[in-house]
Amino acid sequence: MSQIIRFQDVSYSYAKGTPYEKKALENVSISVESCDFLGIYGLSGSGKSTLLRLAAGLIKPSSGQIEIGRSARVGLVFQFPENQLFGSTVLDDVMFGPLNMGLEKDKAREMAETALRQMGLGAEFYNRSPFSLSGGEKRRAAIAGILAMGTEVLAMDEPLAGLDPEGQESLCDILERLNEKGRTIIVVSHDSDVLGRRCRSAVVLENGRVSDCGSSGDVFSRNPGFAPLSFRVMEKVKAMGINL
């Protein structure tokens, strides 16, 4: 496997050089393998969203370097991305990105349709108003808008927030399928119960620094506070000497 994103000694401060300067990340060195499904954990304010913004190139490091492999495209899915839906139809909305990138209308349409299909939204959704969709469908349409731009790496900030349990599971299944088909997925999540079980690797941030990283299993054993409930139960059962 090759590395698709590499942070080398990356620090980032907001409002640098002003009295409000705030160091959000400090000397972060991590690498993300191509096709990984990576979870980023940490308490509120630990720097998770800042890390995603840097990976997507929305902000530049104050110091250190970020390398993105083979001119890969990193798409950032903000928290509650459905708030940014605006097209009069679902298809128009998802075509906006590829059109904006300068693609011909036919090609943009093809990219949009593929992305919608991958997000579980078939032709019956194309002409609906985005505002008539259910919460889970809106979320998936908004993610399709990012995918339609040819995104190889999907970086997502709290992608399950505010969805009902069914919407959460179905979005997780879709993300897993995208990952199996070769997309690299990076998710920030407060609550690892649903998503953490799907992640292969994990990074834990503490006050802007990486406090742990590795395979999900190893990281969860060392940081039980971030582990999914099912994982903690299994660990207890094993500790009781029961081998399942």
Ligand X SMILES: Nc1ncnc2c1ncn2[C@@H]1O[C@H](COP(=O)(O)OP(=O)(O)OP(=O)(O)O)[C@@H](O)[C@H]1O
Relative to beta strand 3-14, strand 22-33 is antiparallel
**Cα(129)–Cα(186) distance, rounded to whole angstroms?**
29
Among residues 114, 135, 136, the alpha carbon closest in space to that of 126 is found at 114
- Of the candidate spans 49-57, 139-147, 148-156, 217-225, the one that interacts with Mg ion by CB under 5 A turns out to be 49-57
* 80 near Mg ion, rule: CB under 5 A: no
Report the partner that residue 24 touches, choosing among ligand X, Mg ion, none (CB closer than 5 to 8 A by kind).
Answer: ligand X
Say if CB 38 and CB 201 are below 8 A apart: yes
Is 31 a residue that touches ligand X (CB under 6 A)? Answer: no
For residues 48-107, which are near ligand X according to CB under 6 A? 48-50
CA distance 86 to 157: 20
Q: Is 49 in the site for Mg ion (CB under 5 A)?
A: yes
Binding partner at 38 among Mg ion, ligand X, none, C-beta below 5 to 8 Å by kind? none
Query: What is the Cα–Cα distance from 195 to 172, expressed in whole angstroms?
Result: 7
Q: Of the ranges 43-51, 124-132, 145-153, 198-206, which one interacts with Mg ion (CB under 5 A)?
A: 43-51
Dihedral of the alpha carbons of 105, 106, 111, 115, in degrees to the nearest 10: 100
Residue 15 interacting partner from Mg ion, ligand X, none (CB closer than 5 to 8 Å by kind): ligand X
Nearer to Mg ion, 112 or 142 (CB): 142
Report, in Å, the least distance between residue 233 CB and ligand X.
Answer: 25
Least distance in angstroms from the C-beta of 199 to ligand X: 17
